[in-house]
Copies of this chain bind each other. A is one copy, B any other.
Amino acid sequence: MLFSILAVQETVAEVDGTVETLAKVVSAVTEAVPQSGGAAHLILLLTVFVLAVFLGIEIITKIPPTLHTPLMSGSNAISGITLVGAVLATGADNGPWATILGFSAIVFATMNVVGGFVVTNRMLAMFRTKK
């Protein structure tokens, strides 16, 4: 919310500069996107986080001890999801330093992801029942 208001304030201030305009724009934005602002949005993300934690606990506690090693390597592979962040950080036209950092981040994250899934698969394939 804060961002949008500030940004709109600035832009409009350049254009017109009168206090009334500002007030009108701000109230229009406030009404139109009542829930999409900074803090409210953050709480929405927080809600997603909390739900995912609850869900994780429910599912993980159901996984039998037999599969705990694959679980460890598998969830480790999932934590390589930062790969998405790495791609976003590298892909944007962001200057050489950011690109180098992003490139290395991608290499690291892909090793984590691909290696993790492959080794988990290797382990799990052993668990197929032999009957």
Contacts and interface: CB of A to CB of B under 8 A. Distances in A.
Given A15-B16, A16-B16, A32 B8 contact: yes
Q: How many monomers of this chain does the complex have?
A: 2
Given A24-B15, A51-B55, A7 B32 contact: yes
Interface string A1-37: 0011011101110111000110011001101110111
A16 B24 CA distance: 12
Say what secondary structure dominates the interface of chain A: helix
Top 8 nearest A-B pairs by Cβ distance?
A36-B36, A7-B32, A58-B58, A51-B51, A11-B28, A3-B32, A7-B28, A4-B33
Interface stretch (A40-48, A100-108, A114-122): A40-48
Interface in A77-124: none
A126 interface: no
A23 to B, nearest CB: 10
Nearest to A62: B58
Given A16-B15, A36-B36, A25 B8 contact: yes
* Range of interface residues on A (Cβ < 8 Å): 35 or more
A4 B12 CA distance: 15
A59 interface: yes
